[in-house]
Amino acid sequence: MVAIMKTLVILTVLFSSACVNQMSSVSVYKELGGYPKIEQIVDNFIIEIEKDPVIFEYFKESDVERFRTKLTEHICFHTGGPCKYTGDTMERVHDGMNITETDFNRGVDLLINAMYQADIPHRIQNKMLAIFVPMREQMIYRP
């Protein structure tokens, strides 16, 4: 009887591990809903930027179509999608902007709003933020 219980425990652990490994092999790109959902997030983000007078100041001279294309590529690539990012480095993109920590955080809030409007579950939002927020150092205080 003890041997049977040990076997059941081992099989349960192995099965649980297999499920966790299988779940973790799904890319954030797929969890987001693929390219169409990323496009929706980016479009929502652009609208959020346009509505925010503080953050809009950083983008008022931007080529919106290029921003849309490059941000979509960037998100697609870094979340495990099939895209290749063809834009500049984050440092180069943000050079001269001198983004403050407060404004960076405000931009993250706008991105969260954009994901919320695209019906991205909080769990997946957090996964995406975990990918991009570490890039913060490449974006803030770049005179």
Q: How confident is the model at residue 8 (pLDDT cuts 50, 70, 90)?
A: very low
Does 94 appear as a known binding residue? yes
CB neighbourhood size of 71 (10 A): 20
The whole-number average pLDDT for the span 4-33 is: 57
Question: Domains along the chain?
Answer: 28-138 (1.10.490.10)
pLDDT at 143 over 90: no
How far does Cα 136 stand from its chain's mean position? 12
The pTM for the full model equals 0.80
Please list, residue by residue across 1-34, b when 16 or more beta carbons sit within 10 angstroms of its beta carbon and e when fewer do: eeeeeeeeeeeeeeeeeeeeeeeeeeebbebbbe
Ramachandran angles phi, psi of 85, nearest 5°: -85, 120
Q: What phi-psi label fits residue 26: left (phi over 0), alpha (psi between -120 and 50 degrees) or beta?
A: beta
The whole-number average pLDDT for the span 12-17 is: 40
pLDDT digits (tens, 9 = 90+) for 61-110: 999 999 999 999 999 999 999 999 999 999 999 998 999 999 999 999 99
